[in-house]
């Protein structure tokens, strides 16, 4: 298939993780669960929590952005656009991207948020790449950040075991050497919106005493249905992106999957014909950081990546949304 003459490649990468750790043993004190049950069903042992009440998603996003810019050898003044993927914005508005722009001093940049839940970073990455491919922008900061602890109900054992806080960021710049974001497949299915949702706080159910009493401001998930959809969806689009680009399992250096559940990751890798040695997995220590999982994987593996490596990125989230991308690594520092 044909590709743009100018691609967008990752030239820098950064991350932020809070210092406070919430272990499975800690959760045993909050809800009826245990370490073995959580680990065998999800692969999670602990997750990071941003406990400081004065710090929100924009703080983590800004820290990750600063590190990404330093990695790329760029200044904040070089940034043309900031795209933040999040479902836990500091406010409904202004956009978290605008708060990041202020915090890092990117005085020439415009910014906006993307809400696609756990698929958010993947969707933001393709959006940022499209700006560069069109020749409109030269330096785009793409951030996935979520303070999930702000919307997790720690009396609900179905969801509180899954989520953690964190942020990851990448710098996108033009590439003419064939490296960069080559292809992506993205899907949405709005008629399954009820399977993974935060009902309160929007214009449908504005904040009120009633919405608070009904705990509508917390994330709610129909776990079994989402698990089935995610297992099928991530595997399908990952196989499709390989097929569209004539990639065999031998051609793929790494699968970079959303870190929601170890069994979903394994199913996707199996569908692609990949061994576990080719799969980035850090869910054990971070849990599901929603939009931050994929860039956090890229950060953790950055020293193992070689220029020209073929990466397949895959995610699934609320919406429902899911997608995959084919990225030829351009050699971020």
Which helix (H) or strand (E) segment holds residue 313: the answer is strand 310-317
- The per-residue pLDDT for 223 is 83
Band of the pLDDT at 5, cuts 50, 70, 90?
A: confident
CA distance 332 to 71: 7
The one catalytic residue among 98, 118, 160, 297: 118
Q: Is the pLDDT of residue 4 over 90?
A: no
Residues 15, 258, 297, 310: which is the catalytic one?
Answer: 258
pLDDT tens digits along 25-43? 999 999 999 999 999 999 9
* pTM (2 d.p.): 0.97
Tell me the mean pLDDT in the region 95-119.
Answer: 98
CB count in 10 Å sphere of residue 273? 13
For the segment 245-271, the average pLDDT, to the nearest whole number, is: 97
Catalytic-labelled residue, pool 160, 288, 297, 310: 288
Does 288 qualify as catalytic in the annotation?
A: yes
DSSP string covering 129-187: HHHHHTTS-S-EEEEEEEEGGGT--TT-TTTTTTB-EEEEEEEEEEE-SS-EEEEEEEE
Q: What are phi and psi of 231, to 5 degrees?
A: -60, -45
pLDDT of residue 63: 98
Residue 194 among the catalytic residues: no
Please name every residue paired with 145 in a beta bridge, in sequence order, or none if there are none: 167
- Whether the pLDDT of residue 203 is over 70: the answer is yes
Domains contained in the chain, CATH given? 7-178 (3.40.47.10), 182-328 (3.40.47.10)
User: For residue 77, how far is the Cα from the chain centroid?
Assistant: 25
Average confidence (pLDDT) over 172-199: 94
* Tens digits of residue pLDDT in 114-162: 999 999 999 999 999 999 999 999 999 999 999 999 999 999 999 999 9
E-strand stretches of 219-290? 220-221, 254-257
Kindly state the average pLDDT of the residues 170-186: 96
- What is the predicted pLDDT for the residue at 33? 94
**Rounded to whole angstroms, how far apart are CA atoms 155 and 121?**
28
pLDDT band at residue 332 under the 50/70/90 scheme: confident
Average pLDDT along the chain: 96
Check pLDDT > 70 for residue 109.
Answer: yes
| pLDDT(333) > 80 | no
Buried b (16+ CB within 10 A) or exposed e, 23-35: ebeebeeeeebeb
Quick one: average pLDDT of 317-328? 97
- Residue 1 pLDDT level (bands cut at 50, 70, 90): low
* 204 carries an active-site annotation: no
Average pLDDT over residues 290-300: 98
Closest CA to 291 of 136, 163, 181: 163
Coil, helix or strand at residue 111: strand
> Is pLDDT of 237 > 60?
yes
- Provide the H-helix boundaries in 246-309: 262-272, 283-286, 293-300
């Amino acid at each position: 298939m044909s590709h743009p003459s100018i691609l967008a490649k990752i030239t820098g990468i950064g991350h932020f993780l809070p210092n406070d750790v919430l272990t499975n043993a800690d959760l045993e004190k909050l809800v009826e669960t245990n370490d073995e049950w959580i680990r065998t069903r999800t692969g999670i042992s602990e997750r990071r929590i941003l406990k400081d009440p004065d710090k929100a998603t924009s703080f983590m996003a800004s820290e990750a952005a600063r590190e990404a810019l330093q990695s790329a050898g760029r200044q904040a003044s070089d940034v043309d656009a900031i795209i933040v993927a999040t479902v836990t914005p500091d406010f409904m508005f202004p956009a978290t991207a605008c708060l990041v722009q202020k915090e890092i001093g990117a005085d020439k940049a415009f910014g906006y948020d993307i809400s696609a839940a756990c698929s958010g970073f993947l969707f933001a990455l393709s959006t940022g790449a499209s700006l560069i491919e069109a020749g409109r922008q030269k330096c785009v900061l793409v951030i996935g950040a979520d303070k999930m602890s702000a919307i997790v109900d720690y009396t609900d054992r179905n969801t509180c075991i899954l989520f953690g806080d964190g942020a990851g960021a990448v710098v996108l710049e033009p590439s003419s050497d064939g490296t960069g974001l080559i292809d992506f497949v993205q899907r949405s299915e709005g008629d399954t919106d009820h399977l993974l949702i935060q009902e309160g706080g929007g214009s449908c159910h504005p904040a009120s005493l009633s919405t608070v009493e009904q705990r509508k401001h917390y994330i709610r998930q129909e776990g079994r249905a989402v698990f089935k959809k995610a297992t099928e969806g991530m595997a399908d689009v990952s196989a499709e992106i390989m097929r569209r680009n004539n990639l065999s399992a031998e051609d793929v250096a790494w699968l970079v999957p959303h870190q929601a559940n170890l069994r979903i990751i394994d199913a996707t890798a199996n569908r692609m014909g990949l061994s576990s040695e080719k799969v980035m997995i850090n869910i054990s220590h971070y849990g599901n950081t929603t939009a931050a999982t994929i860039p956090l994987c890229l950060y953790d593996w950055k020293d193992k990546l070689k220029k020209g490596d073929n990466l397949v990125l895959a995610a699934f989230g609320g919406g429902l949304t899911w997608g995959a991308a084919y990225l030829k690594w351009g050699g971020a520092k």
